[in-house]
Amino acid sequence: MENYIVSEKTAILNRWFDLIVNTYPDDTARFLKNRGDKFANPVGYTVADNIEILFDEICNEMDFERLNTALDNLLRIRSVQNFTPSQAVDVVYLLKKAIHLEVLEKCVNGQMLQQLLEIENRIDATALMAFDVYVKCREKIFEIRLNEARRGMFKPFSRRQKEDI
Amino acid sequence: MAEKLPKPEQLAEDIKYSPPPKDWMDPKTEFKKGTFNYSAVPSALDYLDLPNPGKWQPHDEEWPLPDNWQETVLEGMRDRLKKYRSFQVFMDICVRCGACADKCHYFIGSGDPKNMPVLRAELLRSIYRRDFTTIGKILGPLAGGRKLTVEVLKEWFFYFYQCTECRRCSVFCPYGIDTAEITMMARELMNLIGISIDWICTPAANCFRTGNHLGIQPHGFKDSVDFAVGDLEDITGIKVDVPINEKGHEILFVVPSADYFADPHYYGFLGYLALFHEIGLDYTMSSFASEGGNFGLFHSADMMKRLNAKIYAEAKRLGVKWILGGECGHMWRVLHQYMDTMNGPADFLEEPVSPITKTKFENAKSTKMVHICEFTADLIKNNKLKLDPRRNDHRVVTFHDSCNPSRAMGLLDEPRYIIEKVSNNFFEMPENTIREQTFCCGSGAGLGTDENLEMRLRGGLPRANAVKFVHDKYGVNMLACICAIDKATLPPLLEYWVPECGVCGVHELVGNALLMKGEKERDTDYRGEPMILGKKAEAETEVAQKEAKDAG
């Protein structure tokens, strides 16, 4: 669809990126904004790459696989960092704030409220998916921890037991 | 009443998306489960004759500190400033240029500014300034000085046990400040009042008692080796002989204990045994020097010396000419940089010479100890091994430079040379993530515990990110490395970040590719997984046929 919000993609993405990196302490946010090298700054780079995919999907097809992969890339990081669950999934809602800050006035004035509400509904749906992804990542962490403890305790003995048999 | 309630708009305005600004000088450490290591258990501290504050945990509100703890710590700092010139220099010369700030894997992965090496060091420097510099004594906080309080101590514990002493930051420091040494000093100071972690003190106590971190006694050591001999016979049909504690052999072979005990280290151990059998090496292992690793390095210089002493002592007792060491990371920092001056000179040993190729290992002239990768690379270079790299065709390999072999001893090319000769599919990770600039696994220096897993997943993010890149681009499915801690902690790291990629030692690949005289027909690798010989060749043929067909 011809969409004013889509036409403002660059400004909205820049704003969204800034809002996300500002969820980190000041010194870290400064570092994350420097997107020079993918390997020197993996977090900043992952955020920039994946919010673009999310934006494109939210404004277009809402392809589940692409949304899910992008959310996974973002939340896999935030799941292990020092965020509460709500702070971690907040990245999706920050898109609403970014849109409001960039285009809300024009949307209201230009009678484009319908488009805005549709996008907001999609953001809400994406946020719910984000919650699923977050929980999946956390479950994985505990699974790994359990496996690690099991490996440490049982592996040596199982080898011995094998020999006894 | 209703007037006092804020309106929805007002409430929404108050939501702050950014964390509140905090002054770093004012510490308040939150010990969140999953992000710190448990404290040292009293029995381990007692065994090592260390100060013992009793049972406690870092998340306890009250820490069991002795009355004069500040005095003890400051006195310890004074002693060390006198003893180590480098410590004094590192405290004074930092100009806060920021070159190190974004180089730490823990900062990159966690986003916590106090993991910037400069700021982490500042946690200690601020105390130094207040108590050991004139300007700090007069101006206090204005000159960047801080009083040593319980909160500062908690912060030390939290952040100096987030540094893996990997020394990546020091590669970028224009002054050559080695932040790992600052971490070492901070840990030594905390040890003076019994504040330490279990995953350092218990392995150290075990090592002091039995010679290895796991506390395996001599008969257990022999059991494990015998079991490996049996496994190797099952796989290859060849029964190898592994002398233990036998006098009169040429070489003493020392490995990290995980090699004969843990997975996937064990497969590399099988690789060593197969290799030594094939070349007819005259060697012995020792059930007392049954650990090359040295968790004393993560504790204090004194502890490192105590745990290391057994290696030269066993070499002397067994009457060998020189020592060969297995794949390990921090073990090699100790052996290469400290052993000679700490417990040497090893004037009863000879300059190492390969009995097979007659190559002199001049680099080991002083320590008399050679790295297995140097030894094997030399064998391959001199065409002493029959290798079929196709046997590793089911592996698409990349190489993780372990921090200590790369940055502490410059062992960069030998492992790569070996991998290229024993496998057909080798791809490097990006330049700024390998060799001297390698990213740490995030679990070294005593941090590799399951209770600390979340923190390790943060610290390992930059390494995993580079692995993911080569996995996505080249289909890499195996991360080779030469460090026991890597082999223990990279599998869970990759299970989270790149679950399609496994971890192996370089000598596991060597063992798989090694054609042994009289071996039975093999269709599985050391892990019992099917080897798909010539997979690459077949794929290439398929591509060529398809191209020919398309062109036709």
Is A141 within 8 Å of B496 when comparing Cβ atoms? yes
Contacts of A23 in chain B (CB under 8 A): 17-19
ipTM of the complex: 0.93
**Picking from A42-51, B17-26, B63-72, B423-432, which range would have the lowest pLDDT averaged per residue?**
B17-26
Does pLDDT of B352 surpass 50? yes
In this prediction, residues A87-101 reach a mean pLDDT of 96
Position B438 scores a pLDDT of 97
Position B19 scores a pLDDT of 67
Residue of B nearest to A93 (CA): B17
Cα–Cα distances in Å, from B511 out to B234, B359, B420?
14, 22, 14
The pLDDT tens digits for B404-437 are 999 999 999 999 999 999 999 999 999 999 999 9
Is B110 within 8 Å of A82 when comparing Cβ atoms? yes
DSSP A82: S
Does pLDDT of B501 surpass 70? yes
**Do B19 and A24 meet the contact criterion of CB atoms below 8 Å apart?**
yes
Q: What are phi and psi of A142, to 5 degrees?
A: -70, -35
Is A42 within 8 Å of B458 when comparing Cβ atoms? no
Position A1 scores a pLDDT of 40
Q: b/e map of B517-529 (b: 16 or more CB within 10 Å)?
A: eeeeebeebbbee
- State the count of interchain CB pairs (< 8 A) between A and B: 104
Burial class (CB in 10 A: 0-12, 13-18, 19+), B341: exposed
Contacts of A37 in chain B (CB under 8 A): 432
Nearest-CA distance from A3 to chain B in Å? 27
Helix (H) or strand (E) holding B75: helix B69-83
In chain A, which residue ranges form alpha helices assigned H by DSSP? 4-7, 9-21, 26-33, 42-59, 64-80, 85-109, 113-164
In this prediction, residues B316-335 reach a mean pLDDT of 97
Position B540 scores a pLDDT of 54
- Token pair for residue B408? 């502490």
Contacts of B453 in chain A (CB under 8 A): 141, 144-145, 148
Nearest-CA distance from A28 to chain B in Å? 6
Give residue B263's identity as a one-letter amino acid code.
D
Does pLDDT of B214 surpass 80? yes
Residue B410, C-beta contacts closer than 8 angstroms, at least 6 positions apart: none
- Token pair for residue A160? 């011995």
CA distance B228 to B216: 16
The residue among A78 and A149 whose pLDDT is bigger is A78
Choose, out of A35, A39, A140, the residue to mutate when testing the contact with B (most B CBs < 10 Å).
A39
Is A145 within 8 Å of B109 when comparing Cβ atoms? no
Nearest CB partner across the interface for B108, out of A19, A43, A94: A43
Nearest CB partner across the interface for A39, out of B116, B465, B495: B465
Position A157 scores a pLDDT of 44
CA distance B351 to B346: 10
- Token pair for residue B115? 């993991």
CA distance B263 to B224: 13
**Picking from B24-33, B43-52, B61-70, B126-135, which range would have the lowest pLDDT averaged per residue?**
B24-33
CA distance B212 to B294: 9
Nearest-CA distance from A159 to chain B in Å? 9
Does pLDDT of B122 surpass 60? yes
Choose, out of B38, B214, B495, the residue to mutate when testing the contact with A (most A CBs < 10 Å).
B495
Count other Cβ atoms within 10 Å, centred on residue B49.
8
Question: Binning pLDDT at 50, 70 and 90, where does residue B497 land?
Answer: very high
Choose, out of A87, A91, A145, A155, the residue to mutate when testing the contact with B (most B CBs < 10 Å).
A145
Q: What are phi and psi of B10, to 5 degrees?
A: -65, -40
Q: What percent of chain B has pLDDT over 90?
A: 86
Does pLDDT of B189 surpass 50? yes
Position B13 scores a pLDDT of 62
What angle, 0 to 180 degrees and rounded to 10, lies between the N-to-C axes of helices A64-80 and A85-109?
Answer: 130
Contacts of A163 in chain B (CB under 8 A): 227, 230
Is A148 within 8 Å of B263 when comparing Cβ atoms? no
Nearest-CA distance from A112 to chain B in Å? 22
List residues of chain A with CB under 8 Å from any CB of chain B: 19, 22-29, 31-32, 37-43, 46, 76-77, 80-82, 90, 94, 97, 140-141, 144-145, 147-149, 151-152, 155-156, 159-160, 163
- The distance between the two most distant Cα atoms of chain B, rounded to a whole number of Å, is 94
Q: Are strands B397-399 and B478-481 parallel, antiparallel or unpaired?
A: parallel
Contacts of B461 in chain A (CB under 8 A): 42-43, 77, 80
Look at residues B166, B74, B86 and name the one whose alpha carbon lies nearest to residue B128.
B74
Does pLDDT of B490 surpass 70? yes
Position B534 scores a pLDDT of 54
Q: Is the pTM of this model over 0.90?
A: yes
**Do B440 and B400 meet the contact criterion of CB atoms below 8 Å apart?**
no
Nearest-CA distance from A147 to chain B in Å? 9
Choose, out of A148, A151, A160, A161, the residue to mutate when testing the contact with B (most B CBs < 10 Å).
A148
Choose, out of B15, B112, B214, B527, the residue to mutate when testing the contact with A (most A CBs < 10 Å).
B112
The pLDDT tens digits for A30-54 are 999 987 799 999 999 999 999 999 9
Domains of chain B: 42-195 (1.10.1060), 202-513 (no CATH)
Is B433 within 8 Å of A39 when comparing Cβ atoms? yes
Cα–Cα distances in Å, from B436 out to A25, B118, B405, B409?
29, 20, 10, 10
Question: Binning pLDDT at 50, 70 and 90, where does residue B539 land?
Answer: low
Per-domain residue ranges of chain A: 4-138
